[in-house]
Amino acid sequence: DLDSIVSPKGYEARTPPYAKLLKNLNQVNKITNNQPLTLAEKILYSHLVNPNEIANDIRDIRGLQYLKLNPDRVAMQDASAQMALLQFITCGMKSTAVPASIHCDHLIVGKNGAEEDLINSISTNKEVFEFLKSCGEKFGIQFWGPGSGIIHQIVLENFSVPGLMMLGTDSHTPNAGGLGSIAIGVGGADAVDALTGTPWELKAPKILGVKLTGKLNGWSSPKDVITHLAGKLTVRGGTGYIVEYFGDGVENLSCTGMATICNMGAEIGATTSTFPMQNAHLQYLNATGREPIAKLAKLVNDNYGFLRADEGAQYDQVIEIDLNNLEPSVNGPFTPDLSTKISDLKNATEKNNWPTEISAGLIGSCTNSSYQDMTRAISIIKQAENVGLKPKIPFFVTPGSEQIRATMEKDGLIDIFERNNSIVLANACGPCIGQWDRGIDAPKGENVIFTSFNRNFKARNDGNRNTMNFLTSPDIVTAMIYSGKMDFNPLKDSIKLSNGENFKFNPPNGIDLPENGFVKGRKEFYPELEPKPKSEIEIKIDNESDRLELLEPFEKWNGEELKTTVILKVEGKCTTDHISAAGAWLKYKGHLSNISNNTLIGAVNKETGEVNTAYDLNGDKYSIPDLMMKWKNENKPWIVVAEHNYGEGSAREHAALQPRFLGGKIILTKSFARIHETNLKKQGMLPLTFANENDYDKLSSGDVLETLNLREMIEKNGDNGGIIRMQVTKKNGDKFVFDCKHTMSLDQVNFFKAGSAINFIGESKK
């Protein structure tokens, strides 16, 4: 009797609505004639607004059908929450339709250590933190203040539960899949769908099965599963897929290790990643104070098999990884899929002419700051300490949450780090998101850093485009700081001690969960668990503010074909960091006019090879955002032309909002990263891809591009994809027509017509 499955008292907002999900799934099974489903499909399809709309053959769903879903929860980090909430405010609702949380983590600079850095960051970002806090109070959203921890670690400790479906305004939201959720990274406009109770639309992903066999041993860690996979699949290999892990190797992983693996699924472009329910999940739920939820999840799985794939479920692709023989890898520089086995690093360094010295080591971040990660790093430090070795280079540690930090303190780990010259930073993103102040000694030129982070695009960590970030496990980072050299392989090589003896590290040991339990730490970092909205709270934004600005709605579509001029032809990789840089620009996330001054400043002009340079029709040279602003003021709509996987890297919706704000109409590429393409549609832009890639070569800046059948496509409500014919007029008057592909669905056509998704939602809520 499904109605007897009720959420435990006091845990209602944190328990997936299992009874409703099982009922929906029964309906889906009926319609699909009980075809076996993967775990990811079960969780997704059970969250359908109307399960009766599912196609009756699963081959017609995956990769084809647009699903309208009801996510259970939303999480937002401080940088992206500003724009998400500014958009939510324009919808005029009194409270959010689902539980939600705000996490202040991205705006905190890492420099001298937790205490000092936190005080400074709170004072620099006071206005923004106060805005977010007042939004939390007004709309009943949990507010996790600065210093409380990194969004994904807090979500794992508090909200992720097997079978949950959540959205997060951050691309590493899939971290929660380590605890059996379907957690998807989105832009703020998508978050607003869930916050307003508007069905959230997703094209049903295909399913990539990763079969894990064997057991990690020695130096190999969960991080190596995903760095290895990234090397195999590349940054585009997971696009359009959910990665679902299975096989007996899964049983040997810790819950936080699974989270690390899911976290970096973002680096292969996957929609999300997830794991079937394990004992490790139940142990983690128990250790984080959620015993009643663990009990219910177990019951739901034992009785209905909800939290694992059906027997005979088919994957669209299967990759097998033997954990017994997995070697640690080091991925980078500048792209997370350039994977080098640790035993090949010396040769690769020589071959690629990488610097031979390492300038700093950093561990932690949302990817690798679990108790297990920290204890493994400590086991290496202790070995070094016992023989009198000290780190040769600066070493930074970022705990993922106050709970992790306080437990580390209680168990003596912080003390060991600090007496071995490590700097323990605030529980926040810091160096992982360009908020790393390396002080006056910061290397200006080429230099190498080793980190346990997840992302390594140019200028990502310290703002220096020449800093080469090599991503690897915390264990390898920690061992490398004692040599400081790229040719050191801690698995095989020794370090000469001052007494002339050779010292070699033993493989690290870690503890999955603290033997004496977690401690919560400082109370002031914990919000009320289920806050009630307080409509009397006033949200104040100073007219003079350079940090926050209320949004003006974008104009509606005028019903005409689009006539645009190519403002820029972009060459090569163009990530969301190229389109809307982070680092110092994070400051302006809540101020669309100001942040738009960074639009595409990292992009390379295909025609000149210059960065952040575009040319007006008369040949005058401008920075890219300046020319965009000039054309906006001249009422000259523009189009950007680009290559593959445009917008890869993150859910950053500013990368879509800014071009729209600056007068862009179309982005035409060889291919898009999924989240970015959706973000563009939500802001009323038209994302198109070349039907024939070679047409990219035929276009130049200054060409006039006119759509020929946009109106017809709109009349057909998008028709879930098709061709847009485009007429080109070259500067010399030559004309030709070529085909572009679009992927607009009915809802997305409505966003386009209304000017943006927010305009559309706002109108429908009225």
Decide whether 271 or 451 has the Cβ nearer to ligand F3S. 451
CB of 38 to ligand F3S, least distance (A): 27
Cis geometry, peptide bond prior to residue 333 (ω within 30 degrees of 0): yes
In this chain, which stretch among 42-50, 58-66, 144-152, 299-307 interacts with ligand F3S, using CB under 6 A?
Answer: 144-152
4, burial (CB in 10 Å: exposed 0-12, middle 13-18, buried 19+)? exposed
CB of 81 to ligand F3S, least distance (A): 12
Q: Which of 72, 105, 193, 462 is catalytic?
A: 105
Residue 350 CA to residue 545 CA, distance in Å, equals 50
CB of 601 to ligand F3S, least distance (A): 20
Q: Are 201 and 678 in contact (CB under 8 A)?
A: no
In this chain, which stretch among 11-19, 127-135, 149-157, 639-647 interacts with ligand F3S, using CB under 6 A?
Answer: 149-157
In this chain, which stretch among 52-60, 207-215, 243-251, 428-436 interacts with ligand F3S, using CB under 6 A?
Answer: 428-436
Decide whether 264 or 667 has the Cβ nearer to ligand F3S. 264
Tokens at 19, concatenated = 């009874």
The one among 76, 210, 242, 429 contacting ligand F3S by CB under 6 A: 429
Half-sphere exposure of 101 (CA within 13 A, CB side): 32
Tokens at 296, concatenated = 């219910």
Asked if residue 477 binds ligand F3S (CB under 6 A), the reply is no
Decide whether 381 or 471 has the Cβ nearer to ligand F3S. 471
Tokens at 530, concatenated = 């289920």
Q: Is 695 a catalytic residue?
A: no
Site string for ligand F3S, 446-475 (x = CB under 6 A): --------xx--------------------
Tokens at 502, concatenated = 């050779």
In this chain, which stretch among 115-123, 150-158, 345-353, 721-729 interacts with ligand F3S, using CB under 6 A?
Answer: 150-158
Question: By CB under 6 A, how many residues form the interface with ligand F3S?
Answer: 14
Q: How many CB atoms lie within 10 A of CB 423?
A: 18
DSSP assignment string, 592-654: HHHHGGGBTTTPEETTT--BS-EE-TTS-EE-HHHHHHHHHHTT--EEEEE-TTBTBT---TH
CB of 433 to ligand F3S, least distance (A): 4
Q: Which of 650, 701, 745, 756 is catalytic?
A: 650
Question: Per this entry, what is the length of the chain?
Answer: 766
Q: Which of 103, 455, 676, 742 is catalytic?
A: 455
Q: Is 105 a catalytic residue?
A: yes
Cα 25 → chain centroid: 28
Tell me which residues in 242-301 interact with ligand F3S (CB under 6 A).
none
Cα 517 → chain centroid: 29
Tell me which residues in 705-734 interact with ligand F3S (CB under 6 A).
none
Decide whether 202 or 429 has the Cβ nearer to ligand F3S. 429
Close Cβ partners of 123 (under 8 Å, ≥ 6 residues apart): none
Q: Are 739 and 605 in contact (CB under 8 A)?
A: no
Asked if residue 365 binds ligand F3S (CB under 6 A), the reply is yes
Decide whether 365 or 473 has the Cβ nearer to ligand F3S. 365
Decide whether 433 or 662 has the Cβ nearer to ligand F3S. 433
Site string for ligand F3S, 81-120 (x = CB under 6 A): ------------------------xx--------------
Long-range CB contact pairs, 281-289, < 8 A, 24+: 281/162, 281/179, 281/180, 281/255, 283/255, 283/512, 283/513, 284/156, 284/179, 284/254, 284/255, 284/256, 284/513, 285/161, 285/179, 287/513, 287/514, 287/517, 287/518, 288/157, 288/158, 288/403, 288/518
Residues 245, 249, 252, 255: what is their CA dihedral angle, to the nearest 10 degrees? -10
End-to-end CA distance of the chain: 39
CB of 633 to ligand F3S, least distance (A): 35
Site string for ligand F3S, 733-752 (x = CB under 6 A): --------------------
Q: Which of 106, 228, 405, 674 is catalytic?
A: 106
Asked if residue 170 binds ligand F3S (CB under 6 A), the reply is yes
The one among 433, 686, 699, 761 contacting ligand F3S by CB under 6 A: 433
Asked if residue 366 binds ligand F3S (CB under 6 A), the reply is yes
Helices 126-139 & 78-90 angle (0-180, nearest 10): 50
Q: Is 652 a catalytic residue?
A: yes
In this chain, which stretch among 220-228, 429-437, 655-663, 725-733 interacts with ligand F3S, using CB under 6 A?
Answer: 429-437
Q: Is 344 a catalytic residue?
A: no
Asked if residue 307 binds ligand F3S (CB under 6 A), the reply is no
In this chain, which stretch among 24-32, 147-155, 477-485, 696-704 interacts with ligand F3S, using CB under 6 A?
Answer: 147-155
Decide whether 5 or 477 has the Cβ nearer to ligand F3S. 477
The one among 323, 432, 673, 685 contacting ligand F3S by CB under 6 A: 432
**Exposure string for 183-214, b = 16+ CB within 10 A, e = fewer:** bbbbbbbbbbbbbbebebbbbbbbbbbbbbee
| Residues facing residue 724 across a β-bridge | 740
Q: Which of 578, 652, 676, 742 is catalytic?
A: 652
Residue 125 CA to residue 352 CA, distance in Å, equals 41
CB of 399 to ligand F3S, least distance (A): 11
Asked if residue 150 binds ligand F3S (CB under 6 A), the reply is yes
CB of 337 to ligand F3S, least distance (A): 16
Q: Is 455 a catalytic residue?
A: yes
Residue 378 CA to residue 381 CA, distance in Å, equals 5
Tokens at 278, concatenated = 């394990």
Q: Are 39 and 19 in contact (CB under 8 A)?
A: no
CB of 137 to ligand F3S, least distance (A): 24
Asked if residue 207 binds ligand F3S (CB under 6 A), the reply is no
Residue 552 CA to residue 539 CA, distance in Å, equals 17
CB of 437 to ligand F3S, least distance (A): 15
Site string for ligand F3S, 588-617 (x = CB under 6 A): ------------------------------
DSSP assignment string, 99-151: -EEEE--TTPPBSS-HHHHHHHHHHHTHHHHHHHHHHHHHHT-EEE-TTSB-H
Which positions are annotated as active-site residues? 105-106, 170, 455, 650, 652
Residues that bind ligand F3S (CB under 6 A): 105-106, 150-152, 170, 172, 365-366, 429, 432-433, 454-455
